[in-house]
Amino acid sequence: MDTSIHITPSTERQVLETRSLPFGKIPTEHMFQAVYSEDHWHSARIVPFEDLTLSPLALCLHYGQTVFEGLKAFRQSDGRIQVFRLNRHAARFSKSLERMCMPQVSEQLFHEAIMSLVRLDSDWVPQDLDGSLYLRPFMIATEPRIGVKVSDEYLFMVVATPAYSYYNKPLRVKLETNFSRAAEGGTGYAKCGGNYGGAFLPTRRAAEEGFDQVIWTDAKSHYFIEESGTMNLMFYWNGRLRTPPLSSSILDGVTRDSLLHLAKDMGIPTETSPIAWHELESALAKGEKLEAFGAGTAAVVAPISTLSINGNDYTCYTGSDAVMFRLRDRLNEIRRGLAPDPYGWNHLL
Ligand SMILES: Cc1ncc(COP(=O)(O)O)c(C=O)c1O
């Protein structure tokens, strides 16, 4: 496969004051794209950001054959730029593609696409310590044909947008025991578009009741905690950091994995085992100190202040000495180059 990337730089530089921009609305000046047809990838290029031309018959518009990733580039305290855990995101992209019957992208092309785009738009990586450049690689099925089939043509693209804090206050979340996000054997572990579209209605209903997010439970018994929106869930109580085990219905979050590693390094016992919601409810009802938080690339660590279980609102611990903030701070220190990077997570430009 030819992975050389043809670059056409934009003739106008237009870096904006990014801090006040809403997340995900303003792209950087360039985008990467490569085309798949006749069984191979070709025409890899970086061009000024522009709208796509797509046939209304394109398969992705009808049957949901789409996959994406979300990762971030950070400016370290010494000014150098790094992309966090590029390899792990590449591996997850590959798994998602396999599940959705889409052609693989070589790790080399995935790397080159991202690093070349970040290099060209490096001015867009915020200087501020709480800012980053969010990178969105994605693939869509483009073959123009109405008919339920695996596409023979695809577009692999990367776009980027500056990002700051995702949630600006602790979350109120609701345990969801009617709707399901994903079932065993389904596509929950893949980062494919349909998983998100299907979550909109329950999330909107929860928002109408005043909640920021729902906590998904397993589709079979609605008894075990799975994940939340665009975050894995973690809990700290009784001296242990707990999170549900991975399964075919949970996304293998990179932040989850990073925090589990850091917790071990920091001497915090971790446990990856099923968590029944009644365990949480009985601890909270007894007034035990319990931390609950979401872990994800966009939000990093999102503290949960209220957990609503079967109509009862419980308060989770969000004090400034909470373990989740120690974990978040350690992760941020590594990403900023302020602490050693023992696992080689920072992929420097
Ligand atoms: C459904 C879902 N779960 C969990 C996560 C967290 O994963 P990561 O930490 O890799 O961003 C995400 C975000 O990508 C997500 O969309």
**CA neighbor of 71 nearest in space, from 165, 158, 167:** 158
* 250-266: pLDDT as tens digits: 999 999 999 999 999 99
* 293-321: pLDDT as tens digits: 999 998 889 999 999 999 999 999 999 99
The mean per-residue pLDDT over the stretch 27-43 comes to 97
* 5-23: pLDDT as tens digits: 999 888 877 766 777 777 8
- Nearest-atom number in ligand 1 for the CA of 251 is 3
Per-residue pLDDT, 242: 98
Average pLDDT for the chain:
95
**Domain locations in the chain as residue ranges:** 6-164, 171-335
Overall CATH class of domain 6-164:
alpha beta
* CA–CA gap between residue 275 and residue 224 (Å, rounded): 6
- Please give the radius of gyration of the chain, using alpha carbons only, rounded to the nearest integer: 21
Q: Nearest 5°: phi and psi at 266?
A: -90, 5
Per-residue pLDDT, 2: 59
CA dihedral 282, 288, 289, 294 (to 10 degrees): 0
Who lines ligand 1 at CB under 6 A? Answer: 70, 227, 230-232, 251, 253-256, 295-297
Asked if the domains at 6-164 and 171-335 fall in one CATH topology, the answer is: no
- Nearest-atom number in ligand 1 for the CA of 232 is 4
The mean per-residue pLDDT over the stretch 192-214 comes to 96
Overall CATH class of domain 171-335:
alpha beta
Residue 65, pLDDT above cutoff 90: yes
The mean per-residue pLDDT over the stretch 231-241 comes to 97
Residue 58, pLDDT above cutoff 60: yes
Q: Decide: 206 and 200 in contact? Cβ < 8 Å.
A: no
* 155-200: pLDDT as tens digits: 999 999 999 876 678 999 999 999 999 999 999 999 999 999 999 9
- Nearest-atom number in ligand 1 for the CA of 256 is 9
* CA–CA gap between residue 219 and residue 284 (Å, rounded): 24
